[in-house]
Amino acid sequence: MVFIAATLLLHAQQTNLDPDEIHQRLRTRVKAAAGLTYTVKTWQIEGSESSPPQVTHVRAMKPNLLWSESDSECTYSDGKVVYDFAPRAKVYRVRPAAADGIWLPVGAGLFDFCAPKIYNVKYARVSRQDFAGKKTYCLEYDEPEVPGLILKVYVDTQSELPVGWEQVTGDSIYRGVYTQIDLKTTYPVESFKWQPPSDAVDNDKVPRVSKLLKPGTAAPVLPLADLNGNPLRLADLWSQNRGLLVCFWYHGCGYSQRELKYLSGIQERAQKGGLDFLYVNRDDSKSVIKEFLASTKYKMRIGVEGQKVADAYGVVAYPTLYLIGPKGDIAYVLQGYADSDQAEIEKEIAKLGVRL
């Protein structure tokens, strides 16, 4: 009888939890912070195997100052420009800083501190769970554009700050555990200025020989997979419609982000007209892409591990956009992106018989 009563009490406690209320408490704590410093340990779990952990140190100030460092990836923003730096390869990219905020690396549960206005996650469920040795509220979100992906944020029941997070897909878990969170320390703007090492290379200034496919040539047909490992056949995508728009992108490229924002705005209308969309990524991990999709709400069919496809299409810079006709011929190609390219892109889409 005692066991039954305890079970009923636990069930009542679980069902009385409101995910919006828990999220609001978390949001209030994070938004009220004067500054933000955190250290997070992340690792990938595949079945019974686990990858070596990676430690990332982050400090940030509103609205868009960021200093993030790990052994494999660093991001620096002084509010005007953002540097994405790969310390092992000694290669960096430069992109403009968004005025309304910045994404925090591996910082689920802390995004509300300085996220861009587009960020708007609504959690579907909440439960009480033990995580990293603490009693927590587990907030869960189902990513509609990535079937089977569940995002979890674990919030300490006492401090109402995140303890960690998980991205769960089948038996694959990408986990982050915060080992330090400081909401009081502030930093001067000057401390966020960063200069590339003298032996580092600017990725955008590396001499490249264009190998882009020309309009009128046949589009290569190579295998791809989506985020869940399901096969994608490019020929099926363009032959069953009026054509296919393929965007090769990288999440750390500011120009890619600007083009993705534009394409997300025309995609639904274009799809109604018969044009399908595919976004191919060869450089980012699945976990990074899933986090990006969850935070932006973009509805994107993703092709991953696209090295062979990108090579076949001559991609040497991001973003690169192709329009492919229903018979598999290249109709249009654009490398790079500026807002002034929108009129030309829409003109070329119209040539495929698609009205926006």
Running along the chain, 356 residues long, what does each successive block of 10 average in pLDDT?
Answer: 41 69 96 97 81 92 97 94 90 90 94 88 95 97 75 96 90 90 97 96 72 92 86 82 90 82 93 93 83 82 86 90 93 91 94 89
Query: Are 85 and 228 in the same domain?
Result: no
Q: Which domain holds residue 74?
A: 21-202
Q: What pLDDT score was predicted for residue 254?
A: 72
Instruction: Judge whether 15 lies within some domain.
Output: no
Domain count, the chain: 2
Q: What pLDDT score was predicted for residue 2?
A: 43
Which domain-ending residue is among 175, 202, 229? 202
Please report, for the domain that includes residue 135, its CATH number. 2.50.20.10
Query: Are 63 and 140 in the same domain?
Result: yes
Which domain-ending residue is among 202, 223, 245? 202
Which residue from 313, 204, 325 is spatially nearest to 248, judged by alpha carbons?
313
pTM for the full predicted model: 0.63
Query: Are 157 and 245 in the same domain?
Result: no
CA distances from 147 to 42, 150, 242, 303, 320 (A): 23, 9, 26, 14, 27
Instruction: Judge whether 146 lies within some domain.
Output: yes
| One-letter identity of residue 210 | S
Q: What pLDDT score was predicted for residue 208?
A: 58
CA distance linking residue 43 with residue 51, whole number of Å: 6
